[in-house]
Amino acid sequence: MNRHLISAADLSRDDALLVLDTADELARISDRPIKKLPTLRGRTVVNLFFEDSTRTRISFEAAAKRLSADVINFSAKGSSVAKGESLKDTALTLEAMGADAVVIRHNASGAPHRLAEWVRGSVINAGDGAHEHPTQALLDAFTIRRRFGRSGGSGTGPHGAGPGRGGALDGLRVTIVGDILHSRVARSNVLLLHTLGAEVLLIAPPTLLPVAVDAWPCSVGYDLDAALPKSDVVMMLRLQQERMNAAFFPSVREYSRRYGLDSARMAQLPERAIVMHPGPMNRGVEIAAGVADSPRSTVVEQVANGVSVRMAVLYLLLGGAEADQ
């Protein structure tokens, strides 16, 4: 793997499978009475969050602590950033503190890339503007792989396992529905799922599709009802109205009628199909409560799997594999 994880495009097929296989092995720790490994003892991980977050920040914090790393949580609110300190000055401060990895979430697309130029440690993108969120795509792929029974064969894991590979996602049909234009999750998922062999279809109103979407490795449609019977996975996205500066659709009610997933629409899915959502959910808008809480929904699994996947990313980027050899 590279030293940083800034985009899902940074991951080759082998890299992605290595992360997923390592996460498979690390997930077993959750079943133990003591859920910790000494692998990253003495390493320092900084969570540098310029945007509010609950799931992602806590997930990274839990992942680092389960690997015995020291964790520093940095929030822009109440810090020198609120007094006008630049990202570069903050980066230099972290560098002086000896941070081995910086997990950054920022409202500006490209901020993790700039940060990687200023620090010697690894930089992990935890979401930058409407650009990318690679670890979310990894945990989504991990969840899909487990639900469809394609896990298997551990990677070079924390116990010195061999270089075997679990299954990829070849041939699975994944439909991503909703606010593609403002979604960093959609971008990262399209790139990673394509790398892993899945067929990705985007469904959204024309106004919620990026201008250059034709260059993405996926197909595009506008009719959710036509796509559902052919889908193995349906990933619903939240309407990010806080990022919208214009009227992209007539009303929330009209959007929900055309692009919301309710029980009637879920009944159109094939028998083994699953429903995903990166969270937070707008129940009653893009997804009905009955669908979100159904056995087909993987929302809670995604949160749990996020810790295992982020453990794998930290472990691999901070040299866990080399330390065990």
Cβ pair 104, 45 in contact under 8 A: no
Q: State how far the Cα of 246 lies from the Cα of 261, in Å rounded to an integer.
A: 24
Tell me the two tokens of residue 244. Answer: 């919208």
In angstroms, the Cα distances linking 305 to 29, 40, 140, 167, 195 are 12, 20, 8, 17, 20
**b/e burial code for range 97-109 (CB count within 10 A of at least 16 → b):** eebbbbbbbbeee
Among 57, 66, 131, 133, the active-site one is 133
Residue from 43, 66, 105, 182 carrying the catalytic annotation: 105
Q: Quick check: is 88 catalytic?
A: no
Of the residues 55, 150, 165, 283, only one is catalytic, namely: 55
The residue from 39, 56, 175, 195 that is catalytic is 56
**Beta partners for 106?**
128
Q: Is-contact 137 8, C-beta < 8 A?
A: yes
SS3 105: strand
Q: How confident is the model at residue 16 (pLDDT cuts 50, 70, 90)?
A: very high
Q: Name the E strands within 57-177.
A: 70-75, 101-106, 122-128, 173-177
Task: Indicate if 272 belongs to the active site.
Answer: no
194 is catalytic: no
The answer on pLDDT for 57 being more than 50 is yes
35 assigned to active site: no
In the chain, how long is the greatest CA-to-CA distance? 59
The verdict on pTM exceeding 0.85 is yes
What is the per-residue pLDDT for 152? 60
Of the given ranges (65-79, 127-141, 145-159, 275-289), which has the lowest mean pLDDT?
A: 145-159
Q: How confident is residue 282, by pLDDT bands cut at 50, 70 and 90?
A: confident
Confidence of residue 1 (pLDDT cuts 50, 70, 90): confident
Q: In the chain, where are the structural domains located?
A: 8-133+304-318, 134-151+167-298
Four-point Cα dihedral 204, 210, 214, 217, nearest 10 = -80
Residue 158's pLDDT is: 45
Mark whether 184 is an active-site residue.
Answer: no
Tokens of 309: 């996947």
CATH topology classification for 8-133+304-318 = Rossmann fold (3.40.50)
Quick check: 221 pLDDT over 90?
yes
- Please state, rounded to an integer, the average pLDDT across all residues of the chain: 88
Q: What pLDDT was estimated at residue 325?
A: 37
Written as one letter, the residue type at 209 is: L
Answer yes or no: same fold for 8-133+304-318 and 134-151+167-298. yes
List, for residues 170-197, the tens digit of each pLDDT value: 999 999 999 999 899 999 999 999 999 9
pLDDT for residue 133:
97
Can you read off the two tokens belonging to residue 268? Answer: 């159109």
Averaged pLDDT, 246-272:
87
Q: Does domain 134-151+167-298 have CATH number 3.40.50.2300?
A: no
Task: Write down the pLDDT at residue 165.
Answer: 47
Residue 261 has pLDDT above 60, yes or no: yes
Closest to 191 in 3D by CA, of 137, 240, 261: 137
CB half-sphere exposure, 219, CA atoms < 13 A: 11
Instruction: Answer yes or no: are the C-beta atoms of 140 and 163 closer than 8 Å.
Output: no
pLDDT at 246 over 60: no
